Amino acid sequence: MNLKEAKQITGGLSSPSKMPGYAYNLPAQACITGSKLVQIPGSVCHGCYALKGRYRFRNVKDALSRRLAAIMGPRWIEAMTVLVAHYSQKVPYFRWHDSGDLQSVQHLKNIFEVCNQTPQVQHWLPTREAKFLPLTPDSIPKNLIIRLSGHKIDKAAASFWPWTSTVVTAGKSCPASEQGNQCQDCRACWDRGTDNIAYGLH
């Protein structure tokens, strides 16, 4: 499969300016939990960045919709593997869902297969969909970290999952706000040795 065909099947990758490498995003409107939280003041999703700005452009919305429609396609795993392997050659770090979230258990299993087929790449998947996670992290590919995202600002991380993220008004651990809103050389989000990432509220 060539790159052109892989892009047609998957809808292509995203390239967030903050990230060191490439990513894959879906429409925030399709978030199962996030679409409820966005209505609740004090939640992390209230005022969601992926519902504003360039995400409202027609070409961006169309691209996100194409990706959502593609995730259960019969050749999605093969096509995503081609794209991830190619675009992660220089920077072997990949983020799942810089907007959007998991849609089902099968969606997560498909991501697992892409990770298994790209062992040279470190994958990071943030999610709020705890109901789709395996009972233990033992079945997760070793090159994937799934961080369970907290729902409320300044609330403690979930205790039942080993890797989490929170949003705080003080005491952040993410250095991006002091680095032009970029990861630069920080890779803590991909690090299984870092239990929780505290992002500053912005």
Residue 79 to residue 73: CA distance in whole angstroms: 10
pLDDT for 60 equals 83
The helix (H) or strand (E) run that includes residue 58 is helix 58-70
The helix (H) or strand (E) run that includes residue 140 is none
Evaluate whether 158 touches 150 at the Cβ level (below 8 Å): yes
Give residue limits of the domains in the chain.
3-151
Per-residue pLDDT of the chain (202 residues; tens, 9 = 90+): 999 999 999 999 999 989 999 999 999 999 999 999 999 999 999 988 878 877 788 888 888 999 999 999 999 999 999 999 999 999 999 999 999 999 999 999 999 999 999 999 999 999 999 999 998 999 999 999 999 999 999 999 899 999 999 999 999 999 999 999 999 999 999 999 999 999 998 7
pLDDT for 179 equals 93
pLDDT for 58 equals 84
Q: Is the pTM of this model over 0.75?
A: yes
pLDDT for 165 equals 97
Beta-carbon contacts of residue 14 (< 8 Å; ≥ 6 apart): 22, 23, 24, 25, 98
